[in-house]
Amino acid sequence: MTKTIKTGKLVEKIKDMLNSLKDGISSVSPYDTAWVALIRDTNGSDKPQFPSCLQWIVDNQLCDGSWGEESIFCIYDRLLNTLACVVALTTWNTAPEMRNKGALFIKENICKIETGNVENMTCGFEIVFPALLEKAQHLDIDIPYDAPVLKNICARREMKFKRIPKDLLHTIPTTLLFSLEGFRDLDWKRLLRLQMPDGSFLTSIASTAFAFMETNDQNCLKYLQRVVHKYNGGAPHSYPVDMQARLWAIDRLQRLGISYYFEEEFKDMLDHVQRYWNQEIGIFSGRNSNYCDIDDSCMAIRLLRLHGYDVNPGKTK
């Protein structure tokens, strides 16, 4: 195969990937899948509403007893995923060997938090991990709850609670909506006003699953049903991620110096971004968000302006 033919095949493969982005591509998250698996049957039976999520957990335990990305070991991610999956399996009294192996992994590795790289800490870890510990303790899961490292995490959670203005949480969209499962004493009547048009809370599957368990809101349920169906029984960490997927794909291809192969695809992708661009607040990783983040908004401004779109960053708050 000549170099030209090989290059052409690679270009076509990348074009196919760009044209199939749609809502963005994310891997299944054991943590979020476990939260969806906790939802009880809405018809009143003592069964999970999403048995496929429970089955995904059973099918995806790693050899060391943990759940998570096999090729990358991040202690925060592994512990959070594993505790969530053990809680889900214990809640439904299934796969005893797997949940015992998972609990053993937690006991043997919890001390690694002390030496873990804080820069790699999972978003919201100090809020959501203690909430899972409370669930695990209620289920009598064998974990050293009195371990100094766990007490320290729980203490930091309480400190954060004191610093978070409770009224702000219920009034305007903030990143806190992404981790509602970690909070106590929420005013759901007010929070439901901050729900996104697709039924989610800031595109977070775990947060939306928790919201449904607390409110029985049907828009939350419909959102979760769409996500689980799309991911064949599992759930990603966030959905959709169409803005982020397009922006970062364009950025990486430009940095590689091969963007001239994909001018038509770039136009379609940036047209999509501009369609959902909010001049007042910017954009989030997923479309139609009532909240924006600085990473995606700045990337959108840079790429849209670079490609000739009429975007005025001075008007964005």
For 58-96, the pLDDT digits (tens) are 999 999 999 999 999 999 999 999 999 999 999 999 999
pLDDT of residue 312: 80
One-character DSSP codes across 97-151: HHHHHHHHHHHHHGGGGGGS-GGGPPTTHHHHHHHHHHHHHHTT----TT-HHHH
Paired tokens of 316: 């964005």
* Angstrom distance (rounded) from CA 204 to CA 165: 21
35 contacts: CB under 8 Å, gap ≥ 6: 84, 88, 181, 205, 206, 209, 210, 235
Written as one letter, the residue type at 281 is I
Residue 271, H or E segment = helix 263-275
What average pLDDT does the structure give for the chain? 94
Share of the chain above pLDDT 90, in %: 87
* Angstrom distance (rounded) from CA 218 to CA 208: 11
Strand (E) positions, the chain? none
Where b means 16+ CB within 10 Å and e means fewer, 242-258 reads bbbbbbbbbeebbeeee
**pLDDT digits 0-9 by tens, 106-133:** 999 999 998 878 778 888 999 999 999 9
1 pLDDT above the threshold of 70: no
pLDDT of residue 146: 95
* Angstrom distance (rounded) from CA 178 to CA 283: 16
* Angstrom distance (rounded) from CA 203 to CA 206: 9
Q: Which residues pair with 40 in a beta bridge?
A: 48
Q: Alpha-carbon torsion 169, 170, 173, 177, what sign?
A: positive
1 contacts: CB under 8 Å, gap ≥ 6: none
Quickly state the pLDDT bin for 184 (edges 50, 70, 90): very high
**pLDDT digits 0-9 by tens, 240-296:** 999 999 999 999 999 999 999 999 999 999 999 999 999 888 999 999 988 999 999
- Contact by Cβ (8 Å): 110, 150: yes
Torsion angle of the four alpha carbons 244, 246, 248, 254, in this order, in degrees rounded to the nearest 10 = -160
- Contact by Cβ (8 Å): 209, 234: no
Q: Which domains does the chain have, with CATH numbers?
A: 3-24+241-315 (1.50.10.130), 30-230 (1.50.10.160)
**pLDDT digits 0-9 by tens, 297-317:** 999 999 999 999 998 876 565
Quickly state the pLDDT bin for 175 (edges 50, 70, 90): very high
